[in-house]
A and B are shown apart, each in its own frame.
Chain A
Amino acid sequence: NAGVTQTPKFQVLKTGQSMTLQCAQDMNHNSMYWYRQDPGMGLRLIYYSASEGTTDKGEVPNGYNVSRLNKREFSLRLESAAPSQTSVYFCASSDWANGLANGNTIYFGEGSWLTVV
């Protein structure tokens, strides 16, 4: 059971280049997320998809686009990379109960280290 897998693990881009981060989950979760992790800023939500066919902006969506290709896959695209997008990107998935539930949690991928020069 792989859980959440994301690729690539490491990438160096030049300013202005584009790239897509891929994410797939095998837990049949409805919700998927992209976060970025920066020192002192914690984890900030870029975009999320509460269910197949829907996407919503998070806290820091500017400069990014997403596609929920199917229930398993959620990709993040940088159309024109900027040095400010140098970060570690985490994909995650979850299935939330309507109320409080012991099973509620979010599962993360291993992260993608992106450097924009």
Chain B
Amino acid sequence: AQRVTQPEKLLSVFKGAPVELKCNYSYSGSPELFWYVQYSRQRLQLLLRHISRESIKGFTADLNKGETSFHLKKPFAQEEDSAMYYCALRGQGAQKLVFGQGTRLTINP
């Protein structure tokens, strides 16, 4: 079975502070992992995917297969980062994504 767990429903940090949104997964094969973001009243959009190993809007995420984690990090939070963040997993050859429960990130001025 595939499962994605985001243990924090709410996360609040001050502007300029580091941010880490946690994501753990359960999957026996080699997963494909994603982070999606939903800004207020907007549609969900892709933030980054693990195979790209890219930094988007200052965010990075590293797949740790030993810990089955894909935590999202940013060294210095900005107010515009306030949004809902979802971690998602696609199993090998699967035609669907499984999402976590989401973390609402609030950046305080």
Contacts and interface: CB of A to CB of B under 8 A. Distances in A.
Interface of A: 31, 33, 35, 40-45, 48, 50, 58, 90, 94, 96, 98, 100-102, 104-106, 108-111
Interface in B51-109: 51-52, 86, 88, 90, 93-102
A41 B95 CA distance: 21
- B interface, size bucket: 20 to 34
Contacts of B51: 100-102, 104
A1 to B, nearest CB: 14
Given A102-B51, A105-B49, A110 B43 contact: yes
Given A40-B9, A96-B95, A110-B43, A105 B34 contact: yes
B44 interface: yes
Given A40-B9, A102-B49, A45 B93 contact: no
A110 B42 CA distance: 6
Contacts of B43: 90, 108-111
B20 interface: no
A40 B98 CA distance: 15
B49 A48 contact: no
| 3 pairs of A and B residues whose beta carbons are closest in the complex | A42-B101, A43-B99, A50-B95
A37 to B, nearest CB: 8
